[in-house]
């Protein structure tokens, strides 16, 4: 198999991650949120890749599916809900427990299930699963930054997918028959040296891409539990469920001695400090940043706002559950991308800034013809204004 991203002898996991992140950005393969650096990258074609999960025999047979919270896995979460599976997702950064179950409204429509599959839906429609819950999970779906056709996987570097699986193994939720699947773009499939894979790393049985289903035949054993000697007291402070589990295992007579060597420099933090220079980043994408209602940027780029007046399209009656990323995708499809979006989703409205009246009128026509979640959006052009006016609008004034 020919790989588009090459690895060299001596490449570290972090170097491989940055090769993948850079390639996806430079080749414009990414979808919102961007840039993809220090994330499980959302990529163009993610829905097509997710759709292949229903072709797997294990998906048909399983009653419960555990799916990661990452944006590119949204399609798998939707497929599980539509198929009537028990859908489990990890609690954010394991701060309050291990797993949550998504419970859609009774008689939920497809549009409502779509909302339930989003990150906001996970927050709004989930209930916690206790440590003593013995739900059996036959299928685990995770995101990856890079994966090899041998089943070796590299995540974004924080180790949560590995730890979640190890915790589930301790609780008896997963076993030898559990199948692990990852969803990636074709370019993320690459050669990963076996020596980079450690005992706590989770490997995968299937890789789903927009064009392929790859069965890995991986023989590397999956984590059977927490390896306490790899953890320190700081990790236990951040993840209370680990402290609870350690007490249980200590009472059962297991060796739960923690790592005693000094903690290394936080590699994740170090990576996030690296500057991504978007020399080849598409100009239209650079301009399409959005603001929250508090005026905070949602992306990592420093984007200069036009000093000259701009024309604003005001959009109201935005349905609950609609994300700014979804609106931006719809506008891209209609070639109506604004210079900037001021998003006030909680107030069901947004302001879209265009460089001239022509662009604003095109967007106005596009929005008036859109129906989202069964709602017709209401849009109108408002006065042209400058950067200072935009700051005020972003603050809700």
CATH number of the domain encompassing residue 35 = 3.40.50.10420
Q: In terms of domains, do 339 and 222 share one?
A: no
Strand stretches in the chain, DSSP E: 64-67, 86-90, 99-102, 126-129, 139-143, 146-147, 153-154, 179-183, 206-208, 213-215, 289-291, 310-316, 340-344, 349-354, 371-372, 375-376, 378-385
Segments in the chain below pLDDT 70: 1, 131, 261-310, 373-374, 383-397
CATH number of the domain encompassing residue 385 = 3.30.70.330
The closest of 49, 375, 43 to 211, measured between CA atoms, is: 49
Residue 318 in domain: yes
Q: In terms of domains, do 102 and 167 share one?
A: yes
Per-residue confidence (pLDDT) for residue 373, from 0 to 100: 67
Residue 262 in domain: no
Residue 270 in domain: no
Contact by Cβ (8 Å): 55, 197: no
Per-residue confidence (pLDDT) for residue 391, from 0 to 100: 45
Q: In terms of domains, do 179 and 324 share one?
A: no
SS (H, E, C) 337-392: CCCEEEEEHHHCEEEEEECCHHHHHHHHHHHHCCEECCEECEEEEEEEECHHHHHH
Q: In terms of domains, do 199 and 83 share one?
A: yes
Residue 234 in domain: yes
Contacts of 249 (CB under 8 A, 6+ apart): 170, 226, 228, 256
Q: In terms of domains, do 153 and 22 share one?
A: yes
Residue 271 in domain: no
Per-residue confidence (pLDDT) for residue 266, from 0 to 100: 52
| Token pair recorded at residue 151 | 């089943």
Per-residue confidence (pLDDT) for residue 111, from 0 to 100: 92
Per-residue confidence (pLDDT) for residue 12, from 0 to 100: 92
- How far apart CA 122 and CA 64 sit, in angstroms, is 16
Whole-structure pTM value: 0.68
Q: Which domain holds residue 176?
A: 13-251
Number of structural domains found in the chain: 2
């Amino acid at each position: 198999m020919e790989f588009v991203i090459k690895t060299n002898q001596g490449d570290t996991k972090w170097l491989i991650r940055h090769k993948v992140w850079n390639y996806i950005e430079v080749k414009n393969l990414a979808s919102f949120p961007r840039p993809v650096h220090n994330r499980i990258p959302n990529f163009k074609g993610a829905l097509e890749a997710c759709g292949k999960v229903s072709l797997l025999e294990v998906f048909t047979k399983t009653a419960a599916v555990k799916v990661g919270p990452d944006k590119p896995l949204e399609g798998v979460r939707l497929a599980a809900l539509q198929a009537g599976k028990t859908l489990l997702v990890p609690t954010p950064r394991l701060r309050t427990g291990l797993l949550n179950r998504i419970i859609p409204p009774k008689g939920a429509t497809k549009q409502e299930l779509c909302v339930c599959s989003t990150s906001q839906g996970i927050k709004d429609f989930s209930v916690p699963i206790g440590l003593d819950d013995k739900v059996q999970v036959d299928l685990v779906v995770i995101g990856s930054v890079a994966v090899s056709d041998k089943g070796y996987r590299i995540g974004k570097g924080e180790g949560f997918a590995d730890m979640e699986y190890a915790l589930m193994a301790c609780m008896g939720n997963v076993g030898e028959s559990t199948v692990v699947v990852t969803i990636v773009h074709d370019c993320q499939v690459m050669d990963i040296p076996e020596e980079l894979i450690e005992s706590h790393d989770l490997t995968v049985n299937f890789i789903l891409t927009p064009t392929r289903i790859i069965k890995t035949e991986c023989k590397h054993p999956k984590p059977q539990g927490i390896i306490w000697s790899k953890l320190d007291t700081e990790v236990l402070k951040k993840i209370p469920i680990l402290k609870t589990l350690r007490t249980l295992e200590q009472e059962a007579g297991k060796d739960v001695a923690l790592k005693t060597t000094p903690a290394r420099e936080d590699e994740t933090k170090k990576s996030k400090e690296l500057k991504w220079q978007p020399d080849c980043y598409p100009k239209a994408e650079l301009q399409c940043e959005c603001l929250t209602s508090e005026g905070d940027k949602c992306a990592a780029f420093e984007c200069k706002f036009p000093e000259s007046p701009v024309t604003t399209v005001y959009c109201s009656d935005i349905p609950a559950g609609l994300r700014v990323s979804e609106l931006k995708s719809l506008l891209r499809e209609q070639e109506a991308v604004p210079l900037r979006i001021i998003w006030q989703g909680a107030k069901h409205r947004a302001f879209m800034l265009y460089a001239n009246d022509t662009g604003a009128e095109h967007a106005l026509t596009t929005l008036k013809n859109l129906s989202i979640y069964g709602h017709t959006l209401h849009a109108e052009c408002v006065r042209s204004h400058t950067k200072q006016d935009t700051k005020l609008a972003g603050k809700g004034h």
